[in-house]
Amino acid sequence: MFQICIGSLAREGGSMFLFRIAGLFFQVMMFFSLMSISSEMVRYGLDRTFSSGYLYSSIATFVTFIVSGTYLLYHAAAAVVAPAATNRMLPVRVAATILWLVTLLMAGYWAVVSSNFEVFAVWGFMASYVLSMACLVAISERDYVTERVAREIPAGIIKGRLAFLFFSGAAGGLAWILIMQILTFAIVLLVTGLPGATAYSGRSILSDFVLYSGSFYCYLLGYSLLAAFIRRVFVADHIDIRNTWVVALLTCAVFSIVPILAGGVMGMGSEDLLIANPLYVSAVRRTDSVLLFAASLAVIGLVINAAWISRQFKEFYREMDA
């Protein structure tokens, strides 16, 4: 999903070459994984392969997830060939929301049948991480309303505001991700507080979820917004907005590597030098400093892009009222 959605935003020759290599690698890995699973099923049978006591439920869950994922990939692939002026992200976000709901229902089912509410925590981790990476997609969308999209804005206050979340646009995409993240966190917080979850386990899961998922989202949001500011102010004539995700990755790499190199030259060995790297959250013992840095990065990104985001809100609502 990530590869296809990003590919719809960057279709130059060099970028597409890299995505084709990544896609080929992904297909090879999937082929050997499926061959391994199929071989095990043939040798030992379905009961032993799944070995959970819920054979048909496992198969139904797998099929449902594959169908929902294929539905999302279909719309993401359609976005690749859609003209730039069209509302190409609408079906992608609708499909992503449906997949989010389907996986939530599946997590609820398995939590009930297994009497283990930690399933919701696993679901929350996966959903939050995917939504966080979607920030790179949203920030690379156009920041203005095309005439074609303006004609599709529905009448009415409620429908119009919902359309802002799902229609193509950088600010709308970031707002959609924020709402989905809030819903994901709220569900995990609610479930971990139920009597079915033990007190110690609930607190442990909750703290880990807030630390890893919350920090990762703030990191991705902060770097994405910082990249949008850098591209818009300094390199707008050289880098198109659909390649803002590249600037975000480069910015993240610089913030992650430079402190380590500087620390090596100056003889510093503190693990706090890793604090700017979102992949090394677990390596920093001071979890409060990680959350503080990630949240500060996100706040700084929002502040320096406040006028840019506000302009998109006002432009969309002006077209809605027209």
Q: Which of 17-31, 114-128, 160-174, 294-308 has the lowest mean pLDDT?
A: 17-31
pLDDT category of residue 279 using cuts at 50, 70 and 90: confident
pLDDT of residue 200: 44
Per-residue HEC secondary structure of the chain comes to CHHHHHHCCCCCHHHHHHHHHHHHHHHHHHHHHHHHHHHHHHHHHHHHHHCCCCHHHHHHHHHHHHHHHHHHHHHHHHHHHCCCCCCCHHHHHHHHHHHHHHHHHHHHHHHHHHCCCHHHHHHHHHHHHHHHHHHHHHCCCCCCCCHHHHHHCCCCHHHHHHHHHHCCCHHHHHHHHHHHHHHHHHHHHHHHCCCCCCHHHHHHHHHHHHHHHHHHHHHHHHHHHHHHHHHHHHCCCCCCHHHHHHHHHHHHHHHHHHHHHHHHHHCCCCHHHHCCCHHHHHHCCCHHHHHHHHHHHHHHHHHHCHHHHHHHHHHHHHHHHC
pLDDT of residue 249: 92
pLDDT of 265 strictly over 50: yes
Average model confidence (pLDDT) for the chain?
Answer: 80
Q: How many CA atoms lie within 13 A of 291 on its CB side?
A: 11
pLDDT of residue 211: 83
Region label for 156, one of left (φ > 0), alpha (ψ between -120 and 50) or beta (otherwise):
left
- Whole-angstrom distance, CA of residue 184 vs CA of residue 77: 26
- Whole-angstrom distance, CA of residue 154 vs CA of residue 51: 50
pLDDT of residue 289: 80
Q: Which of 148-162, 190-204, 205-219 has the lowest mean pLDDT?
A: 190-204
Q: Which two tokens stand for residue 14?
A: 């060099």
Is pLDDT larger for residue 110 or for residue 47?
110
pLDDT of residue 171: 93
pLDDT of residue 86: 86
Domain range list for the chain: 2-321
pLDDT of residue 227: 95
pLDDT category of residue 226 using cuts at 50, 70 and 90: very high
- Whole-angstrom distance, CA of residue 56 vs CA of residue 62: 10
Give this prediction's pTM.
0.83
> Which whole number is the average pLDDT over 156-165?
86
pLDDT digits (tens, 9 = 90+) for 175-202: 999 999 999 999 998 887 766 554 444 4
pLDDT of 139 strictly over 90: yes
Specify whether the CB–CB gap between 3 and 23 falls below 8 A: yes
